[in-house]
Amino acid sequence: MIKKLRIKNYKGFDDLKINKLSNINLIGGENNIGKTSILEAIFTFYDRINPQVILKPLSWRGIPISLKNNTPHEIWSPAFKNYNIEKHIEFQFDYKDNVKHNVIISIERYAISAIDPEKISKFDNRNFQQEKISEYSLHVKSFIDEEKKQDIIYFFMNDNIATKINFMQGNNIKQAIFVSPSVRSTTRDALIFSEIYREGLEEEVLEALKIIDNRIKSIIPLAISEQKSIIHVDIGIGKKIPIYYMGDGIVRLLHYVLAIINTKNGIVLIDEIENGLHTSKQKDIWKLLFTLADKYNVQVFATTHSKEMTEAFVEFAIQNNLEEKSNYIEFFKNYKSEKISANIIDIETLQYKILNSKNFRGD
């Protein structure tokens, strides 16, 4: 479990420090204050050996990216503070066992000078000598307690992102899953649920969905073509229907449950957790998330704009003596320096602020 983190020169963050993290972390603050960016930063830290590491957050925000039509600078630079690629991004994560993990991401110009073709992916060796190496390459280095673990360069070649591995010592990086209201893949959902179904864990998903609709009697992935399956549910009308016909609340809850069960010992990042969920169900949903996260040893980070969702979070945590396993992080900005900072508010103080109409969302 991450206990504290530091993020430098990533998107809107100059030097963000959060010195107390817990099992379930709820993040609040005004619009455009970095709540989604902190989730993207954590995901990037864990996805660092993926050539798509910078592209994924762009796609989640609906930004069209074409390796053919966009330059390397246009693709890499949005991840850097003020698009300034002269400074490197740095992530520093401290874990429960006091192990320190560092990741440094920088832009190198003409970094690929001598290349071993056996270490490069996604290009035709026969055409290599005729290819012009991209001017801007993404250089990712990671360390555990200052010992180098990975050193990788990503660069453009033949309208693909190619990889040069300088050093790789193990790749047993924890899994992180990003759950966004704007990202939906029925095929991916079916694949994940099929694995859960194969392991006999479908009842956990079923019981979770009954929080919103107790008509659901069963849940199963069904093929709709030779290449595609969709999750269907039985709600007692004589035929099974695609779960996506049942509304955003059900689909959002499905994504939360699939993410946690599928990410054992990992990290789940939920953006706008209240999205699509009625206030009357929010306390039950926190009970579900706390229970599943504890069972599968998953650390959860969630953002919210909702006072009601925060109230439900506080109420459930205090009623069940979970103050030590829950955490509220308030993001705010110094409007003179434009620097974004984070303020940790313990659960009892947060309850006091809510009951006495005090500010707690970066107001």
CA–CA separation, 178 and 56 (whole Å): 10
Tokens encoding 162: 């190619």
Check residue 325 and give its pLDDT. 95
Average pLDDT over residues 169-184: 84
Residue 128 has pLDDT above 50, yes or no: no
Binned at pLDDT 50, 70 and 90, residue 91 comes out as: very high
- Judged against a pLDDT cut of 80, whether residue 117 lies above it is answered with no
The pLDDT of residue 181 is 84
Q: pTM here? A: 0.91
H or E element that contains 317: helix 307-319
The CA-based angle 363-306-267, given to 5 degrees, is 105
Return the amino acid letter for 20.
K
| Portion of the chain with pLDDT greater than 90, in percent | 68
pLDDT of 156 > 90? The answer is no
Tokens 């902190």 sit on residue: 38
**134 pLDDT higher than 60:** no
113 pLDDT above the threshold of 50: no
* pLDDT averaged over every residue in the chain: 89
Q: How many other β-carbons are positioned within 10 Å of the β-carbon of residue 202?
A: 18
The pLDDT, as a whole number, for residue 334 is: 83
Two tokens at 254? 């499905």
Let me know the angle formed at the C-alpha of 181 by 58 and 105, rounded to the nearest 5 degrees.
30
What's the pLDDT score for residue 70? Answer: 83
pLDDT of residue 112: 54
Residue ranges with strand state E in 115-195: 136-144, 147-157, 160-168, 176-179
> In the chain, where does the domain assigned CATH 3.40.50.300 lie?
176-355
Q: Is 322 within 8 Å of 351 (Cβ atoms)?
A: no
Cα angle 181, 102, 268 (rounded to 5 degrees) comes to 25
* CA-to-CA separations, 14 to 36, 102, 211, 240, in angstroms, rounded: 16, 17, 41, 51
Q: What CATH topology corresponds to 176-355? A: Rossmann fold (3.40.50)
Main-chain phi, psi angles of 223, to 5 degrees: -70, 135
Query: How do residues 250-280 score in pLDDT, each as one tens digit?
Result: 999 999 999 999 999 999 999 999 999 999 9
Q: Are strands 299-303 and 24-28 parallel, antiparallel or unpaired?
A: parallel
